[in-house]
Structure 1
Amino acid sequence: MTDAIEYSGLSKTYGRGKDALTAVRPTTLSVPWGQVIGLLGPNGAGKTTIIKMTAGLITATAGGVRIGGHDIRRDRAEAVRLIGAVLEGSRNVYWPMSAWENLMYFGRLKGLRGAEIRPRAQWLLAELGLWERRHQLVGGFSRGMQQKVAVAAALITDPQILLLDEPTLGLDVEAARTFKDWIARLARDEGKTIVLTTHQLQVAQELSDRIAVIREGEIIADLPTAELLARHAENRFEVRLDAPLDGLRASIPDGATVSEDGIETRIVLPDADTRALYGFLDRLSDTGAPLTAVAKAQPSLEEIFIRLVHDELDEERTS
């Protein structure tokens, strides 16, 4: 069985000669059916360019994309039928049209008949909390509501593959949480294949089965999320307390780093010396501190991302 998405030497260069700008360097990777892959990188790294080449909106300079085995250039119609996309920005749908009209339009654009579109449109709008406002113009909606219509339009044909380029950009906290939960449901309950780009790395960590990091048009890391996190686990211990540090500072070993949010305190010891760890835990026990966890220090995806994108780039420039 072919993979959902296959990139083979995919690259994109704008312009020629000395003015040429390489947006994506030759990229080869595959995304299996049912996988959520987080495509992460700083602004200008090439994420949106890859998404648009995947959707057939721009043409690759070299290499190719296959969607469910269909070449996006030679068999575009069959390939795009498998795809739903929400692109970066706020104009994924038509503002002078109502939510209902948008869904009917995009359904017909993908070759469906009205009788096929209506029940799907009704279900999507109800699920996204827009049914009561289905006949109102999208231009009068909030940013979060407009993005909900965009997601509904992407899902109107029940595509197997979703391309989500910064789907929570510009949304408030509640709307962003709604989208995160919706994406999780699509992956878990419907087995959708999802390519997700986002600057909200905690969201990417929670949703993605796999993480690919792109920097200056080149994929520099591509691993299952758990493996990426494990590879960057630190040879140090982390101790968590269910309380502010307050009078415990005298117990903290030299070289340890402390972070606290007023409720929980996270203490990362300077090394993996088990004798020093036990001694520290004994001192905490004497104070009655509410210990909640002891584990190998595990950086967040955000910390790993910064190391990969910024620290290694600085090393290259100074070498």
Structure 2
Amino acid sequence: MSRVFLTRPLPESVIAAAEAHFDVEVRESTLPMKPAEMRAALALYDGVLPTLRDNFDAEIFEEGGHRCKVLANFGVGYNHIGVDAARACGITVTNTPGAVTDSTADIAMTLMLMSARRAGEGERVVRSGAWEGWHPTQMLGLHLGGKTVGIIGMGRIGQAIAKRCHHGFGMDVIYQNRSEKSLDLPATRMDSIEALAERADVVVVCVPGGAETHHLIGHDVFAAMQAHAHFINISRGDVVNEVALVDALKSGQIAGAGLDVYEHEPKVPPALIALENAVLLPHLGTAALEVREAMGMLAVENLRAFFAGEAPPNAVT
């Protein structure tokens, strides 16, 4: 029976599914693995189920002679894994797309509403005891109905957000993507991110992480946005230049921002925390039990298929 290492505690149903197929060991810590732990896991187990911030970069694979033959990532994003270096060592990498689409789109909508309607700021006022009661000009925000949403990256999650915005709020949809998308709703592809930023009332980033998208969003994009517009990031933290975002929020260049991810998470810049017009969530994109169970089951199925000599359904290519 293949030995498999789970790098974090997972829902009980997922662990039970893994134990039905493998000799399983679960690492009890909820913190990311240290380099020595990752090297040991590659040496001691046939398969490893890692997740976000378990940074299996190229250096981790340098020693060679690994017993591990598959890294079944728990999550759709895998920019924390050196895929080319793993492949050079004969290690297959898989991920869990599909299971996270709707839940991540829901968090994008949560952030859009919270930022546009100043919900986080309003809750802080109530909790502080400073609320003096309703009046006609109290905490006026942006009404989303009929506005324009600009989506950067029109993959599964981007399309799920577009459907919610169009069908749920009657919003016009514009998007920027490397290629034209065939969509089942009206949407206009923009020539550049800056052109999208100029037209959108809400800008949502849905691109994958990695070297190609590092600091994709910076001063130029925020300068192009309208002063009443809101910026939402549910992709990866380092897609955004956080210094540029703080500057844009402080100066009133944009009205607000909603973030579920951060450049150096869990560290969040104090300057960002201090801003009333920033909504900050602790990476809740897939934080629902049934979603985490679905992700885990996909990861287990990738492992099962690999060790059965089948093509894993979600191999990273």
**Normalised-by-shorter TM-score class:** under 0.3
TM-score norm. by structure 1 comes to: 0.27
TM-score norm. by structure 2 comes to: 0.27
Structure possessing the higher radius of gyration over alpha carbons: 1
Greater strand content: 1
